[in-house]
Structure 1
């Protein structure tokens, strides 16, 4: 989509704002904003020769800011936090100039976005990610095979989540995995009959004339045939043959080219052998290996007793409405009727005329080769599971550039994959079928119902784990190892991950303020985590069971008191004020710090006398370079405020016997000492945190990256929350009721 064209439309709409206010803004922008920025920023951001490709000085009027929201939002942040102009430049804005410009830009941007028209670009067709695939299969087929744990990892995109359609590719190797998975799914869902298959002489190859009753096999010659196996199991192969003379008839039996056994026939009779066979088509070959010839009379493949799988039988009955082994009177007609309902559910929309025909063709193909009824159904369902309409979330294209509602079925899928990472349930399908879903009251009721459903736990787990980066604690991040397993075990790591999830889920269920993510007087813990944190009164915890715990002091609170966050923002066995400070600005406030220049040397570990430097001393030396000081003056103080927590998030008063440096002063002037005071300072920027959380939640809900046009929705939702108490459930509801979640519009035509 052309963001320039779309934002151009927004800019035109902004011209129609209140005339007097507009005139004052025009005058202030012309007389104060542009001259001041030209004075300090023009050398690097000349519109005609920008060194950093960051263009904002080409704005001619306030409404032009809407064309480049992210750039101007960054200008406000950098002015406020003294990260621009670079510290090495002598000419710097005064503190008053920084404050005045930053406040005006932020206020104008927010006001402009609140008045901007709705923006609802089409969502790209996107493949179900591995978790969504798992959950959809479970709801559709009634089986859970854990593909979310065995499929390749999917990288995050857009707002940092793995449900972003722009990164959910389908390379050939992954498609092969989906084909394999579809076979495993139907095998786990449908009970195939025990195999009993008989073959006559005429079934062997190469074909012989007059082989109706016996297949003549001279010395050294071979006869073979292909036979299907539907279930991995033990099979008995029974061969009947007679010698063609007095000499014994020797046959070398081979399966798929591997010699299995020597069969000897002294006279007419049968000889058998057993072996394990996997699902698929197998080649049995019988070669005359002795001195005499003989005649093959028959071959039977007989499956031995297989274990009883009650869950598979229940799945079979639930899916098909038939008992295992039960065959309808007219199997093909029954299959056509089955497809009418199953296909609509699998595709999450009504089926189109003739859409089921290609799957009936698969049924006919399987029937033509003699497959049993159950195997014919497996092939049909397998075809559906690997079809684009199942594997992808597809929506009908928008017809015009103006807003138009998505269909109720598309809205049902948007809602269910947002909150459940899975397909709609019967109630959502019913509302969609009746055309009653895209209604404010109905959607609000569904949000409440769906968040109370246990399936909503996946939203809390996925959203929080990926947003914070804590989902891999104990594995790829902050791994457990033998040296520290006495305090940090897999059980502790799992408890650390779960603390974040339960805390956020509590906010959702009770509609508590999302600002508690910045500071709170409680958390959730089990005995493992309580012991790890060094708490007393462990008898109040019942083993692995989590409970809400009120803090007895102000050491911990919000996300910055949680071990998973503190471990994620540390180096291996070493805290990092830099990582922690950068994480706070990037993850919590949505203002990422630029990466360091490529030629920046590593931190000095020792002074000139060879003595080891403290973290404070290392960073002070590093900040002596003006190039480095710009960002480190911003992020280091935040990190020092968290130095009471070690690299795993445990409380400490000293580091290697030395006092900790806990004081920090932000470029904006706020000072603090320790985590409790730091949290209070961060709460002062709750409005910035709120808008970042809205962006993250909106990006997750839509499964795409956000653009400047989405800031209108972000600002409207943020203002609704500020007026109603910042409720976590209110946030979800506001996003579901927003224009981009319920609508779509075609991208403006490109300029010639």
Structure 2
């Protein structure tokens, strides 16, 4: 009975409950945030799901979870920061609301990034580029090398040469093997089988009218070159002067000039170069009366071509600089060889006009008013007396065998190779690492002395993948998310970024102890590394690539429009940029000073 009495009112109860549910839902709906109201008022009219202007639909984006649409909101922030939205002619909010929306989005994006870090994925295997290889050899062996003569150039993109360093093709591998052999022999001071000649060409547009830095005072012109003398021996130093292209005539040699040759700034000889006398012409040959007066056109053309060839390419006598050569004893190691002219006072000074600074070289040859150094050639060694006491030998051999016994040599060899391997591999070495190198040591020792064994092991170390490649291994749990790299990997990242080279012993010790990631320790190490002279690599390597300074040698503007541009000015321009960039780093200045600084660095030539 009760059931039948309630049946007529059941629909009304359902409607009543539905109305209460709708009212409750309406009462629980959140109020729109100020940011949403701002977007709806000024942005959604264009950037909605229907119109999708610029591919954006902001009406469906969740402002309460900005991190879920971080890519879209980053674009919005970029436009807001630039003041580009809303576009000109459209209603815009007041400045306070504009800044408030921008700050809100940036804060939420930063919070989302901090809670879900995504540092990206770096290459797990990266080969050292040419600069890093050269610096690593310098720090590992205390040996200066010219990497351009040993290895092929790296590919570059947008000025940077560390963009494609994952592989090692057979041709490049062969060059690494050859480089390892040359470097290891030079490092241990191995005997040189025969004399070799290395010629250094001086840039043709280098201004040599004034004093050159690194040469003795009272000299003008010339140049200096850095050279690694392999052993204690005698070496031949030869200087060639700039000549006309059609003869052996030295340009500007109108009077005798004294040429001084130096080693590490100390003169080793002074020689006088004079203009040679012209050889007398042979008497004219009388024509045979029986010879026909007329020649065939083809024969006449051949004779003219032969005469032109003799004029252009025949030496026409002994060169004035043929005797600018000296043979001197030099101790092994890196030395600076220089050549310059003893300065003379000008007999006539320009007072009413300023002469061009650039040296003009025309079809007729070198048109300088005074002679100049064209090249310096170093030949040797001759009559070698021993490997000498070089920085590289002191670095490679921290110990010497106490006696000639096999046990004494093996113990010293193990100490040497373990020390070198730790620095080269940028990590603590294992017994297996050292055992592998000792095998090569014994192979070299069988055919030579103790130094020959170390040289063979060093050759193997320099082609090891552990040295040529930077390897960052994934964690053992195969995690696909972000993870902390090891302290040793962090040490390598620091050293190759700040120094473009391997970590030093102090940095390796801290990393091996597992304390490098501590904020205080990390900051102390970074400050120490920035104070080290090797941090100049940030300027000479990073800035040189970023600002395309490496391309300056190939820049030669029109000499009619810029008659004073030469290699001296080119070098000053590069040095100015390097000094300026270095001041930003070493003086801890703001990066904005790169655009707004009110100072620079000039020398007299650049200031003009």
TM-score, normalising length: structure 1: 0.45
Aligned position for 1:335: 413
Distance in 1, Cα, partners of 2:92 & 2:50 = 11
TM-aligned CA deviation for residue 351 of structure 1 = 1.2
TM-aligned CA deviation for residue 79 of structure 1 = 7.8
Q: Deviations over 1:452-497 (max 9, x none)?
A: 2111111123232222333322x23x33565466421112122212
Aligned position for 1:140: 140
Of 83, 91, 108 in structure 2, the residue corresponding to residue 112 of structure 1 is 108
* Number of residue pairs the alignment of both structures matches: 390
8 A contact 2:444–2:452 mirrored in 1? yes
Distance in 1, Cα, partners of 2:498 & 2:530 = 7
Q: Deviations over 1:395-421 (max 9, x none)?
A: 231344565443322222221111111
- Change in Cα spacing, 1:44 to 1:454, as seen in structure 2 (3 Å) is closer
* 2:161 maps to 1:162: yes
8 A contact 1:75–1:102 mirrored in 2? no
Distance in 1, Cα, partners of 2:192 & 2:410 = 21
Of 25, 42, 45 in structure 1, the residue corresponding to residue 52 of structure 2 is 42
Distance in 2, Cα, partners of 1:482 & 1:413 = 46
SS in 1 for 2:186: helix
Of 167, 187, 190 in structure 2, the residue corresponding to residue 189 of structure 1 is 187
Distance in 2, Cα, partners of 1:506 & 1:145 = 28
Aligned position for 1:123: 122
SS in 2 for 1:459: helix
Of 373, 380, 392 in structure 1, the residue corresponding to residue 469 of structure 2 is 392
Distance in 2, Cα, partners of 1:472 & 1:450 = 28
Distance in 1, Cα, partners of 2:192 & 2:452 = 12
* 2:173 maps to 1:175: yes
Aligned position for 2:4: none
Distance in 1, Cα, partners of 2:604 & 2:60 = 58
Distance in 1, Cα, partners of 2:411 & 2:31 = 71
SS in 2 for 1:389: helix
SS in 1 for 2:600: strand
* 2:583 maps to 1:506: yes
Note the 1:353-752 alignment, pairs <5 A: 353-367=431-445, 370-398=447-475, 399=477, 400=479, 404-473=483-552, 475-476=553-554, 478-479=555-556, 482-483=559-560, 486-531=563-608
TM-aligned CA deviation for residue 327 of structure 1 = 6.2
Distance in 1, Cα, partners of 2:31 & 2:387 = 73
Task: Structure 2: state its 5+ residue gaps.
Answer: 1-29, 194-229, 235-379
Aligned position for 2:316: none
SS in 1 for 2:601: strand
Q: Deviations over 1:369-419 (max 9, x none)?
A: x34433332221111111111111112313445654433222222211111
Distance in 1, Cα, partners of 2:142 & 2:118 = 38
8 A contact 1:131–1:148 mirrored in 2? no
8 A contact 2:440–2:457 mirrored in 1? yes
8 A contact 1:416–1:424 mirrored in 2? yes
8 A contact 2:422–2:428 mirrored in 1? yes
Q: Deviations over 1:95-128 (max 9, x none)?
A: 5459989968854553233212233345322111
Distance in 2, Cα, partners of 1:84 & 1:40 = 19
- Change in Cα spacing, 1:363 to 1:529, as seen in structure 2 (3 Å) is same
- Change in Cα spacing, 1:327 to 1:71, as seen in structure 2 (3 Å) is farther
Aligned position for 1:60: 61
Aligned position for 1:94: 89
* 2:318 maps to 1:317: no
- Change in Cα spacing, 1:194 to 1:162, as seen in structure 2 (3 Å) is closer
- Change in Cα spacing, 1:472 to 1:339, as seen in structure 2 (3 Å) is same
TM-aligned CA deviation for residue 37 of structure 1 = 2.1
TM-aligned CA deviation for residue 320 of structure 1 = 1.5
- Change in Cα spacing, 1:96 to 1:171, as seen in structure 2 (3 Å) is farther
Distance in 2, Cα, partners of 1:384 & 1:501 = 35
- Change in Cα spacing, 1:97 to 1:179, as seen in structure 2 (3 Å) is farther
Distance in 1, Cα, partners of 2:69 & 2:397 = 55
- Change in Cα spacing, 1:354 to 1:83, as seen in structure 2 (3 Å) is same
Distance in 2, Cα, partners of 1:360 & 1:98 = 75
SS in 2 for 1:126: strand
8 A contact 1:499–1:524 mirrored in 2? yes
Of 409, 426, 436 in structure 2, the residue corresponding to residue 348 of structure 1 is 426
TM-score, normalising length: structure 2: 0.54
TM-aligned CA deviation for residue 135 of structure 1 = 0.7
Distance in 2, Cα, partners of 1:39 & 1:122 = 34
Distance in 1, Cα, partners of 2:390 & 2:500 = 27
Q: Deviations over 1:557-599 (max 9, x none)?
A: xxxxxxxxxxxxxxxxxxxxxxxxxxxxxxxxxxxxxxxxxxx
8 A contact 1:384–1:390 mirrored in 2? yes
Aligned position for 1:624: none
Q: Deviations over 1:472-524 (max 9, x none)?
A: 22x23x33565466421112122212222211211222222222212122111
Distance in 2, Cα, partners of 1:310 & 1:389 = 29
- Change in Cα spacing, 1:514 to 1:336, as seen in structure 2 (3 Å) is same
TM-aligned CA deviation for residue 530 of structure 1 = 1.0
CA RMSD of aligned residues (A): 4.3
Distance in 2, Cα, partners of 1:41 & 1:464 = 45
Note the 1:151-300 alignment, pairs <5 A: 151-156=151-156, 161-164=160-163, 167-192=165-190
Distance in 1, Cα, partners of 2:153 & 2:62 = 46
Distance in 1, Cα, partners of 2:181 & 2:481 = 44
Distance in 1, Cα, partners of 2:37 & 2:508 = 54
